[in-house]
Amino acid sequence: MSKSIFRKKSVAKILSDVECGFSDAEHPGTASQLQKELNVKDLTLMGIAAVVGAGIFSTIGEASFYGGPGVSILFIITAVTCGFSALCYAEFASRIPVAGSAYTYAYASFGELIAWIIGWDLLMEYAIGNIAVAISWSTYFVNLLEGFHIHMPEYLTMDYFSAFRAQEKIQELTASGKLADITDNMKSAAVAWANAPGFGNIKFIANLPALGIVFVITYLVYIGIRETKKATNAMVVLKVVIVIAVIAIGFFYVTPANWHPFMPNGFKGVMKGVSGVFFAYIGFDAISTTAEECQNPQKDLPRGMIYSLLICTVLYILISLVLTGMVSYKDLQVGDPLAFVFAKVGLKNISYVISISAVIATASVLLIFQLGQPRIWMSMSRDGLLPKAFSRIHPKFKTPSFATIVTGFVVAIPALFLNLTEVTDLTSIGTLFAFVLVCGGVLLMPREAAVKGKFHLPYVNAKYVVPFIFIGMIYLFWKPFMDILAGENIHEKFPFFLFIILSAALTIAAVVRNLSLIPVLGLLSCFYLMTELTYQSWIRFLAWLLIGLVIYVLYGYKHSLIGKAQNEVK
C-alpha cells in the first residue's frame, strides 16, 4: 500500500483528462466544461478582492498595537514570503493550467496521499476563512444599518454561545462587585440573551445577516463565472478608490511624532502581529482555482497573482503608516481601526464611508473564497477521491453546481450559530501549509526551459546563498534557542524544532542537488511563519488532517481512478 498511496498523476494525464471532457465526472466526454471568461485584468482584480478585506479593516489594528509604526516592516516581510509562494504558484499554474490549485499541483509532484492532505487542508482553510469573514461582514453590516437608524434585534445578529457566555459572565462580575469589567460587547450579548424568544436556556439566537450574505454570494457563484467576475470587478474598483482616498486624506492628519519610536516593542513586538498581518494577505492564491476559466492561464494567472500581491502590499504599507501616524499605536487595539482613527480626529463622515467600504470589502473576499472552494471539491471528485456529484457541471451556468451548493451550506450553517474568532489562526496555518507544499512541489518537478507565452520561474542556484543564511541564523538565534531548551513547556516548541531540522536538511539538499533558490526560500519562510502560530493551532490543524486521513482510507483510496487504472494493468 505504501507505494500506491504515493501514486502520481502526470502533468500530461491531468491536461488530457480536461481536454477530453473529464471535467464533469458524472458525464465524461460531454461538452459540460467550465467557461473561459477571465483575463489578466479580471484575475488581478480577483486577487485584490480576496486580499483587501477583513485584514485591512480589522487585524491591522491589533498588529499595529504590538508593532507600532514598525508593523509596516512586517507587511514587507510577509509580502516577500507570499511573493516566493506566488512565484511557485505561478510556475505550477503555467505548467498545469487546470482547476484544483495546490491539490492538483501536489498530485503531480508528491503523489496521491499528499494531494489528499493538501486538498483536505484547503477545504478547511476556505471554509473556516469564509465562516469568519461572514461573521465579520455581519458585524459591519449591522453597524451600517445603525447609521441609517435601522436596528436589528441583538439575538438575530450573533451566535448562541456568545450570548449565553456573556450573561453568565455579567452575573459573575456583578456578584463579585467588578462592574467596571463589564464591557459594551458583554452588555449587547446579554441583551440578546434576555430578549431572545424561547423558554429556559433554549432560545432562538442566530446570526441572520451572516446566513443571508452567504446565500447571496453562493447564488452569484452558482449562476456563472461571468456574473461573479462583474460583481467582483465592481466591488474591487469601489473599495480600492475608497482605500486610496482614505490614505490621501489621512496623510493630512498625520503627526510625525507618532512614528517615534518606530518599533516601540522591538522586532519581537513587530513579529507578534504575524498572524494578523498574514491573515491580511490570505487569498491571492485562490485565483489559481480558476485556471480552467482563464482565456490564457499560462500567461495571465502568474501575472494576476503577482500584480495583485504588489498592489495590495503598497496599499497595506501606506495604510499602516497612516494609521500609526494619525493616532498613537497604543490606541489601535480595536476591531475597526480605520473607522476609529478618523472618528478620533473628528472626521466622522469619513468614518461612515469606511464602514460602507468594509461591508463591500468583506463581501468581495467571501465571493472569491466561495468561488475557490467548490473547485477544490470538483478536482478531488474528478480523481475519484470524493463522490462524482461534486464534479457535476451545470449544463446552463457551466459551474460546479453541486459542490457550490454544498459549500454554501458548509459555510452558512456554522456562520449562523458559531463564533469562530478563536480559530482564525487555523486559517493562517492551513494557508501556510499549502504554501509550503507548493514550494516543495516545485523543487520536485524537473526544471524546464523557458517557453514563449508561459511563465518560467527564474533559476538561481541555492547553494551559493542558503548555507550562508543558515549559518547566519545559527549565529543570531543560538542564545534564544538555548533559552527554549532551558524553559518550561518545551513540547510547545516542537514546531520550531521541526523548522530547525527542515532548515538543516534543505541546506544540505541545496548544496548536493543544486536546488532553485526561490522555492527554497519560500518553503523556509512559510514554515517559519507557521512556527510563530500557537501550539493549540497546530494541535487543531493536525486533528483536522487526521479526520481527513480516515476519510481517505475509508473512501478515497478505494475509489481513486489512478488506483483503479493501476489495478487493471496488474
Averaged pLDDT, 245-259: 88
Most distant CA pair in the chain, distance: 76
Expressed in angstroms, the distance from the first to the final Cα of the chain is 14
The DSSP output letter for 56 is: I
3-state SS of 238-273 is HHHHHHHHHHHHHHCCCCHHHHCCCCCCHHHHHHCC
SS3 308: helix
Read off the pLDDT of residues 258-270 as tens digits, 9 standing for 90 and up.
898 888 888 777 8
Measured between alpha carbons, how far is 236 from 218 in angstroms, rounded to an integer? 18
User: Which H helix or E strand runs over 431?
Assistant: helix 424-444
Phi-psi region of 144 (alpha: psi -120 to 50; beta: other; left: phi over 0): alpha
Query: Taking 70 as the threshold, does the pLDDT of residue 55 lie above it?
Result: no
Query: Is the model's pLDDT at 194 over the cut of 80?
Result: yes
Amino acid at 48: I
What are the pLDDT digits (tens) for 396-437? 887 888 988 988 888 888 887 766 555 566 777 888 888 888
What pLDDT sits at residue 450?
A: 57
Interval 492-521 mean pLDDT: 90
Q: How confident is the model at residue 393 (pLDDT cuts 50, 70, 90)?
A: confident
Residue 46 clears pLDDT 60, i.e. is over it: yes
**Considering only CA atoms, which of 211, 219, 137 is closest in space to residue 411?**
211
Other Cβ atoms less than 10 A from the Cβ of 469: the count is: 16
Report helix, strand and coil shares of the chain as percent, to nearest 5. 75, 0, 20
Give 25's pLDDT tier (boundaries 50, 70, 90).
very low
Taking 90 as the threshold, does the pLDDT of residue 467 lie above it? Answer: yes
Contact 194, 167 (CB under 8 A): yes
Percent of the chain with pLDDT strictly greater than 70: 88
Judged against a pLDDT cut of 60, whether residue 297 lies above it is answered with: yes
The C-alpha atoms of residue 387 and residue 258 are separated, in whole angstroms, by 57
pLDDT of residue 547: 92
Q: Interior CA angle at 417 toward 413 and 423, to 5°?
A: 90
Q: For position 33, what pLDDT does the model report?
A: 60
